[in-house]
Amino acid sequence: MKTTRTGEFPIGFRRAWSEWQKDLEGLVSWAKANDFAFIDLGNTADALAREVTEFGLPIGSVDLPSWQSLLASDSAKRSEAVGEAIAYIEKVCAVTGPMRFFVVMMSDDPERPAKERFANMVDAFGRLAPALEKAESQVVIEGYPGRKSLCCTPETVRAFFKEVPSPSMGYNYDPSHLVRLGIDPLRFLEEFADRIHHVHGKDTWLYHEERYEYGIEQRSMAGKSHQFGGELWRYTLPGRGVCDWTAIFKTLQAANYQGRVSIELEDEEFNGTKEGEQRGLLESRDFLAET
């Protein structure tokens, strides 16, 4: 089982959408043969968790279903989503034991005022907290900043934990999103270290020449962009971007982090073929194991 050199955090990866990863038994077999410590599943874990555990591979996190419905503007729709999420949590945890439930705070109506979307989020996750506490589990919020999602900046993360202080509310630390936003990833980690229950091994490369050419407010006339990125940045493997992973792991170690590091493969130089994705996962594994 591969672990990071600093902190000895187990290294696994997030199951993606490509064809070869749809063969669950084959994917788990490949992961075990290459010393990955766990796998993260999507929002069908209620159907797949038992199968994965029977294959002999631990599960690092599972997606919480109906993200947008949990932040729905319609209170009846939001209540229905909360009930479905509680049933899902109970079903998954009956198989896996305590679990980390991955979520992005996206609304079904992103054009509504941020304060209204924030209030809907607080309402839904405040009602989810008792079920998570009973299951000794946590939500791990991903700070993906697209589609006007919430909890991706220190301001909104801090406000959320103040409004929903339950220990079942946690964070999935992914420094690549913070770099993209221009937020210091180490300062963020230091502030919220006690809420980090899962970590994504993903990095961001910044294009400084393009920043000079276009600035940060304008698009280029060519409108060129990167897969898994924009004009000025793109996601990449850990170690191929600007993140200081040694400092990240030392900070997690000092905070007594007890979780895992999960490779989330999003890199235009590797995604798209079985050979490329396997090569990207293995390179990421090796870099993290040596860091």
pLDDT band at 178 (very low <50, low <70, confident <90, very high): very high
How confident is the model over 101-133, as pLDDT tens digits?
Answer: 999 999 999 999 999 999 999 999 999 999 999
How confident is the model over 18-66, as pLDDT tens digits?
Answer: 999 999 999 999 999 999 999 999 999 999 999 999 999 999 999 999 9
Amino acid identity for residue 102 in this structure: F
- Window from 195-204, 214-223, 227-236 with minimum mean pLDDT: 214-223
Is residue 11 helix, strand or coil? strand
Among residues 43, 188, 171, 178, the alpha carbon closest in space to that of 105 is found at 171
H or E stretch including 162?
helix 154-163
d(CA 4, CA 199): 12
Class of residue 111 by CB neighbours under 10 A (exposed 0-12, middle 13-18, buried 19+): exposed
d(CA 266, CA 269): 9
Is residue 90 helix, strand or coil? helix
Instruction: Fill in the DSSP letter of residue 161.
Output: H
Among residues 90, 152, 93, 156, the alpha carbon closest in space to that of 119 is found at 156
Q: What superfamily does domain 11-204+247-289 belong to in CATH?
A: Divalent-metal-dependent TIM barrel enzymes (3.20.20.150)
Q: What is the mean pLDDT of residues 184-193?
A: 98
Buried b (16+ CB within 10 A) or exposed e, 113-151: eeeebbebbbbbbebbbebbeebebbbbbbbbbeeebbb
